């Protein structure tokens, strides 16, 4: 069984980022975009359930993380507009039975990701 999961780490405070809104879109030909999931991170910075599970569809996907709103709620002084608002991560799923874990490590000024386990 394949699955797609994520979590968000706040690198300013050194811990999980709770309350980050996340969307997942599948991208198709001609710019077609289909929303396949939406969630908000819990106290552990994770979604309560995988964003996708079962046999995954191969293709291109995009996770969007609303980190600007998250850091704004923390009271961190941010310029207007914030340097980072919604962080998009575009990636491919090639193994329908695989486990894809796509975390986001973020601050108001930078972010990184990797394919985790």
pLDDT at 31: 82
Measured distance CA(44)–CA(89) in Å, rounded: 20
Q: What pTM was estimated for this model as a whole?
A: 0.95
Structural domains in the chain plus CATH codes: 2-113 (2.60.40.180)
> pLDDT digits over 75-111, tens only?
999 999 999 999 999 999 999 999 999 999 999 999 9
Q: Are 107 and 70 in contact (CB under 8 A)?
A: no
Task: Please list, in sequence order, all residues whose beta carbon lies within 8 angstroms of the beta carbon of residue 2, skipping any fewer than 6 positions away.
Answer: 52, 53, 54, 55, 56, 93, 95, 96, 97, 98, 99, 100
């Amino acid at each position: 069984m394949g699955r797609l999961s994520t979590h968000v780490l706040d690198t300013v405070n050194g811990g999980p980022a709770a309350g980050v809104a996340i969307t997942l879109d599948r991208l198709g030909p001609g710019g077609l975009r289909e929303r396949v999931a939406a969630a908000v991170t819990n106290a552990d910075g994770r979604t309560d359930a995988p964003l996708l599970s079962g046999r995954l569809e191969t293709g291109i996907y995009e996770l969007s993380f609303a980190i600007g709103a998250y850091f704004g709620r923390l009271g961190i002084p941010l310029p207007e507009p914030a340097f980072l608002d919604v962080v998009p991560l575009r990636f491919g799923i090639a193994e329908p039975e695989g486990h894809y874990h796509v975390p986001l490590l973020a601050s108001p000024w930078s972010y990184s990701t990797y394919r985790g386990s």
